[in-house]
Amino acid sequence: MGQVVVTGGLGFIGSHVADAYLARGDTVRIIDSEVGAVVDGEDYDTDPRCTVVRASVEDYLRGGGDFAGVDRVVHAAAHVGPAGILHHVGTLGVDIVMSTSPVLEACLAADVPLCVFSSAEVYGRSGQLAEGDDIRVPRDYNARIEYAVAKTLTEVMTVNSRHRGLRAIVIRPFNVGGARQSRAGGFVMPTFVQQALAGTPITVFATGQQVRAFLAATDLARFLTDHMDAALAAGHTVINVGNPGNAVTVMALAERVKELMGSSSPIVRVDAKTIHGPLYEEAESFHKVPVLGAAAALGWRPQLDLDDLILQTADYYRRRSDVRADRAAV
């Protein structure tokens, strides 16, 4: 089978992508600075088909590393999470662009296909969001807008580099969830699940009527292993990957988590700024539901429903701690 590079492969999405390629029989090279790691990588260290380089991708490439002989690169390294990005406000945009630019150049030099992860945050508005829709930049700048603009720029850089010979796709994932996702980034599903397991209040921000469509990380990884080649061959550039069937309000998610887990936790509405600080803002996309265009045309469909995704997350955190949150608390 092939050799795959996954940047950010110790992070939430990256580790699921690495697992999917290893399960397919590929060899995997993980490049990760460990800043946003949700696993320690020890299991990968003992797998002869997996190599872990504990460095940022910028340092790896600057130090003489390259992608020669690689069959594909999946660029998942980035600061993530509505709370996680707050620590990098003001430099967030530079960090995202400066980690992507050398990856583009290295893939061009080695003639290696590339997948770049963007974000559904780029749409900058509410509603049913399709790949062909215009995107907007709200006027009130904050950390989430900085993140969205930076992701938009990496999309433009990637798509425009196709004119230089780059073979690449951009994925806009919608509210990915599942095992290993950390509450430390401010992600709602692992936060609710861990609160329910501990019997502490389940904290709902704002009105709780925000609509999110939750996608299993395993379904996202399956798009890459099963459909990336077809997407490149078909000439697709920007691809929504999400699960509109799992659309739910945040309040309804809290209620479902509590019910499925038989938890005694009360559900309470709180001001997010009291938890994450004054820089925290809700997303401009108050209602954020994907329209599946290119992914559906390629034959991909999400499989894991909302209940199974909640239970999968709960099962993981019954057996393991939240590595990233534990590290952040030290």
Q: Are strands 3-7 and 267-270 parallel, antiparallel or unpaired?
A: unpaired
Please provide the size of the chain in residues.
Answer: 330
Structure tokens at 164: 């230089």
For residues 144 and 82, is the Cβ–Cβ distance under 8 A? Answer: yes
pLDDT at residue number 329: 64
For the domain that residue 220 is a member of, what is the CATH number? 3.40.50.720
Would 249 be classed as within a structural domain? no
Structure tokens at 278: 């004054």
Distance between CA atoms of residues 130 and 247, nearest Å: 15
For residues 227 and 180, is the Cβ–Cβ distance under 8 A? Answer: no
Would 261 be classed as within a structural domain? no
Distance between CA atoms of residues 148 and 125, nearest Å: 11
- Each residue's pLDDT, cut to its tens digit, for the chain (330 residues) gives 799 999 999 999 999 999 999 999 999 999 999 999 999 999 999 999 999 999 999 999 999 999 999 999 999 999 989 999 999 999 999 999 999 999 999 999 999 999 999 999 999 999 999 999 999 999 889 999 999 999 999 999 999 999 999 999 999 999 999 999 999 989 999 999 999 999 999 999 999 999 999 999 999 999 999 999 999 999 999 999 999 999 999 999 999 999 999 999 999 999 999 999 999 999 999 999 999 999 999 999 999 999 999 999 999 999 998 888 887 764
pLDDT at residue number 324: 84
Closest C-alpha to 284, from 125, 86, 85:
125
Distance between CA atoms of residues 155 and 153, nearest Å: 5
Note the pTM of the prediction, 2 decimals. Answer: 0.95
For residues 261 and 193, is the Cβ–Cβ distance under 8 A? Answer: yes
For residues 294 and 240, is the Cβ–Cβ distance under 8 A? Answer: yes
At position 118, the amino acid (one-letter code) is: S
Q: Which own/partner contact pairs does 14-19 have at CB distance under 8 Å and 24+ positions apart?
A: 14/74, 14/76, 14/77, 15/39, 15/180, 16/178, 16/180, 16/217, 16/218, 16/220, 16/221, 17/74, 17/76, 17/220, 17/221, 17/224, 18/44, 18/50, 19/221
Angle formed at CA 247 by CA 242 and CA 252, multiple of 5 degrees: 145
Would 101 be classed as within a structural domain? yes
pLDDT at residue number 327: 76
Task: Quickly list H helices, the chain.
Answer: 12-24, 42-45, 57-62, 92-110, 143-161, 188-198, 217-234, 250-261, 272-276, 294-297, 306-319, 323-329
Q: Which residues pair with 114 in a beta bridge?
A: 73, 168
Would 138 be classed as within a structural domain? yes
Which structural domain, as residue segments, surrounds residue 236?
3-180+215-243+288-303
Domain count within the chain: 1
Cα 95 to Cα 65, 77, 192, 197, 327, distances in angstroms: 19, 10, 29, 35, 22
Backbone angles phi, psi at 215, to 5 degrees: -110, 135
